[in-house]
């Protein structure tokens, strides 16, 4: 598929992947994009054995966000997932190759956990009561990877984009808060001077990034209490989610009416995305 179309004034400011679901991730200068998203993104997850639920930071008191995961070698899409190094809140280092990794993490979280590279059938994701609206308001859990390839650990879609104009606008609206990228866990932060919440208008459009990758933006990204939790030097701040809800409450597909920030996307054409690549629309 040829990459052509209107040239936009938008470009990739930063690229992120999160080797272990709900742990803090790593910024990279370039990333290989396949139908399963950025190679290495959400490659592993902690799964509670008794309930077959992924271990999301938002219902485990945010403790997973105090851990950081980094690959020991660069992942490749057609090779087994490489080992990761996990930095614990106390500074201790764990490697996914250690035989007692699951036992140590299970002890930390007070529940039997499996460290997995493929999502088991029927894996669920939890969220706080009242997170969803409308016909889904009664739910507190849903199947994982609702719009992503089977066996992956994404909550919904396999790619997530956020515009700098939106983050900057929210920062001005709520200056005492910190709208740090880490709170929202995108794959691509798009540098743009367009209007705030421009991502809403991207939904349903086809866009190209760099010379190879073509994406189809799908639905606005519904946010939850995870955006308010402490991580690193970011404090707990309920005002983050309240501000998003005040200024961008809208329908987010399967999630009903939600506070939205960013947009999910599917991969139409794979390739490599590099920091500084231009984003342009094809329709």
Reply yes or no on whether the pLDDT at 243 is more than 80: yes
pTM value is 0.90
Reply yes or no on whether the pLDDT at 8 is more than 70: no
pLDDT of residue 257: 78
Query: DSSP secondary structure string, 141-152?
Result: EEES-TTS-TT-
Question: Tens digit of pLDDT for each residue in 84-112?
Answer: 999 999 999 999 999 999 999 999 999 99
pLDDT of residue 119: 82
Cα–Cα nearest to 159, from 218, 118, 73: 218
pLDDT of residue 62: 79
Q: Across residues 1-9, what is the average pLDDT?
A: 49
Q: Across residues 22-43, what is the average pLDDT?
A: 96
- What average pLDDT is seen over the chain? 88
Q: Across residues 69-84, what is the average pLDDT?
A: 96
Domains and CATH numbers, the chain: 6-281 (2.40.33.20)
Q: Which residues of 77-102 are buried (b: 16+ CB within 10 A; e: fewer)?
A: eeeebbebebbeeeeeebebeeeebb
pLDDT of residue 228: 94
């Amino acid at each position: 598929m040829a990459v052509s179309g209107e040239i936009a004034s938008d470009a990739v400011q930063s690229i992120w992947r999160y080797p272990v679901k709900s742990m803090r991730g790593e910024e990279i200068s370039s990333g290989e994009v396949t139908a399963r998203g950025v190679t290495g993104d959400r490659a592993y997850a902690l799964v509670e054995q008794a309930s077959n639920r992924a271990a999301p930071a938002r219902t485990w008191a945010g403790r997973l966000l105090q851990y950081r995961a980094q690959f020991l070698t660069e992942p490749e899409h057609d090779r087994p997932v490489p080992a990761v190094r996990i930095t614990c809140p106390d500074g201790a280092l764990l490697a996914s190759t250690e035989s007692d990794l699951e036992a140590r993490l299970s002890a930390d979280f007070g529940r039997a956990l499996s460290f997995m590279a493929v999502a088991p059938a029927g894996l669920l994701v939890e969220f706080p009561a009242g997170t969803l609206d409308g016909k889904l308001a009664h739910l507190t859990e849903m199947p994982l990877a609702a719009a992503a390839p089977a066996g992956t650990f994404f909550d919904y879609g396999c790619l997530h984009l956020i515009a700098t104009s939106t983050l900057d606008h929210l920062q001005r609206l709520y200056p005492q808060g910190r709208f740090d990228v880490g709170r929202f866990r995108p794959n691509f932060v798009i540098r743009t001077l367009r209007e705030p919440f421009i991502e809403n208008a991207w939904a349903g459009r086809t866009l190209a990034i760099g010379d190879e990758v073509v994406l189809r933006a799908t639905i606005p990204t519904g946010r939850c209490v995870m955006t308010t939790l402490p991580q690193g030097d970011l404090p707990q701040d309920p005002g983050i989610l309240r501000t998003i809800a005040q200024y961008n409450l809208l329908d987010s597909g399967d999630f009903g009416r939600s506070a939205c920030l960013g947009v999910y996307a599917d991969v139409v054409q794979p390739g490599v995305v590099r920091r500084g690549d231009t984003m342009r629309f094809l329709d």
